[in-house]
Amino acid sequence: METTIIKVIHLQRLEMFADIPSEQLAQIADICREVHFNENETIYEAGDTADAMYILLDGKVKITRENVVTKKVSKDEAFGIWGCFDRSPRLYTAQALEDSYLLKLDSTDFFDLIEDRIHVSRGLIKFLVKKIRSLVEVRDQLA
């Protein structure tokens, strides 16, 4: 079982939490649950309601859409982020390629936490705006 300090260290490595103070990350770490998935076990499937995001601590995870691998997740990388924010059905399937150890951040717990923590909200808004801008830039380059 990971300590809060170790969880904070993992959270600090994520771009989405880069601008959030350590004290606030400790509160996020406290609501993260440690989960384990065996090799070839499905973490979530396309069409599932998105109710959490995940941070890979150890192991390997692949993300697929219509049986095509779109991404392989690396250590200290988050996935399932977008759906966690809008709770829409998942567009992708996530599956453990080998035994994998993750942190699971439940969206309801997360939203309850950030309602009263402006530093967390500001950091997340900055992250989301940056992602949206990069998507717009890619779209503009393709046009």
0.85 exceeded by the pTM?
A: no
* Tens digits of pLDDT across the chain (143 residues): 788 999 999 999 988 888 788 888 898 899 999 999 999 999 999 999 999 999 999 999 999 999 999 999 989 999 998 877 788 899 999 999 999 999 999 988 888 887 776 656 666 677 677 777 777 777 677 76
Nearest to residue 108, comparing CAs of 57, 33, 45, 47? 33
Check: CB of residue 49 under 8 Å from CB of residue 101.
no
**In this structure, are residues 9 and 26 in contact, taking their beta carbons and an 8 Å threshold?**
no
Which CATH architecture describes the domain 4-142? Sandwich (2.60)
| Distance separating alpha carbons of residues 29 and 93, to the nearest angstrom | 25
Per 3-state DSSP, what percentage of the chain is helix, strand, and coil (rounded to 5)?
45, 30, 30
**What local confidence, expressed as pLDDT, does residue 137 receive?**
78
